[in-house]
Structure 1
Amino acid sequence: MAPDLFRRLAPFREEALRRGIPLQDVERWIATARPSGTLVTRGEGLVVGRFGGPLMLPADVPDPWYPLLATLDCAALPEEVTGLPLPVDGHLLLFGFPEMTYYSASTGEVVYVPAGTPVEERKTKYPCVYGEEGHEFEGDEMLSIYEEFPQDELRLSADVSLPYHFLVPSPEPGQEDALLPGHPRAWELAEAWADTCGGIIVDGPLHIGGYAFHECTETDPVTDAAREAERARRHRAAGANESVDAVELPAPEEWTLLAQWDIGLTGREGSTLHWVIPRQDLAERRFDRAHVSFFWNP
């Protein structure tokens, strides 16, 4: 990570030491810092995509169930900024909707369109918003939320990220969560970060890479979302009378945050969407197993 990003963590370091956290614990926490890209709708940064806009898809890609949130230009999102091995060209399309799902199902998807792929504009009426064709529409609330989805250019700001969480699931069934391994002062360090990050990180609605967070972060939202993905997989397999062990997903610790949307729409204040993906899938440009998790603290 670039030295200037580490220097930006100075206020956190000073606050953690002021609280009496030993220097070695503070430095060990800072060593976990990750670069991330924060996308904003203002300023002079490079335009790397947009919220909303036309839905451009290859002819063989099915109509999406969830609405398009953002289209991102991969060539404008270098790994040194995002910390992610994104494709070097083409576009990532993020789909999602801030709504709870049944049986931990994904509330969105990711579509990658390689550079040079012929695309066509779709005039899709997303079933998530408008209901399925042939069914009576009763989704006035869904439509009003969708009509608030942002429509604007997205500009890139290089950012830095530290863990917001301090607990990990216990390896023993039925046992309480444990502190992050190797960080006996994890709770205090996460609290110091929560109290100082507002003056360190960039204020923007969409984050690429880094650590995930939401209003009640104790455990890692990426780990939680990966566990959701596994529960959803098992539910689908059971419904199809297939073996639940036929094709297991990677372990939760093998997943990473692809994107996070801090929503703030009327009726969904304090909610967050996380797009998470197995690291190996991302390296292989495979996005079909990406999972979108919705958090809301109404």
Structure 2
Amino acid sequence: MFNKIFHSLATVGLCFTASAAAAQNVNPAEQVVTAEILKRFVDDYNSDPMAIDATFGIEVGEHRWRVTSKMIDNERSTSLDEGFGAAEMMYYTLDQETLHLIDRKVWTGLTAMAAATSADETPLEVEFTSGYEQPADYEEIFRRLTFHFWNRGFPEITRYGPENSRIAHGAPATVLYYDKAFRSAVYHVPAGLGKDQAPTLAAPFPRMIIVLSGAVEGEMGEHNFVAKPGEMFLTPPNIPVTFWNASKDETLSFVWIAWGEGA
């Protein structure tokens, strides 16, 4: 479901570039606000017990910053500097509107990057400076970095209502957490979005669907099934599965969990 997610370790060069028109002409006062917002994320990450050593970039409109986080004498030091410098790194790109939405906890970083395919454009993207080479555990580390850097507070609370979602695989979704061989999200399928709009998927890993509200009808291989709130169903690897909102009046909400190789 979230094929656009990336990872990185030790020198994780992250930089986000935004292509929204609203971010192209930013006045100096707005840039001060942007720096203040980024500083809040940097300060929070500095005290996060899940923080990792990383160097990455953030690009908001035409302006760039570099974040460096590392342990020094058993104490974490995380800094925010203007410009990318000469470091080879990964960087996040986003626009002002997306930054404000993440700052207000409307979206998490992972939700802002949610996509059905790698070709989909998302509010939060990842780019690479010239010469940057992904480490072997790039995806795993980047998933953790994206969640923990762009989600402030302790504990890190994720809001997953419909207003905190983005469309992925045809329905509003909030990404909960991604880690090595693990993905999770909450979906809210509107009433009336039935079988004709439902995708058929045969993933190479198992998936667990926990129904929160509404009603599910579905097809798994040659079998038909129904599920209601208080029930969970498992989709085995490599078996085609289609399921949809069986109600014309009520939203179908469910937790989606995937794990194993390829997840």
TM-score (norm 2): 0.24
TM-score of the pair, normalised by structure 1: 0.22
> Greater strand percent: which structure?
2
Higher helix share: 1
Higher relative contact order by CA 8 Å / sep ≥ 6: 1 or 2? 1
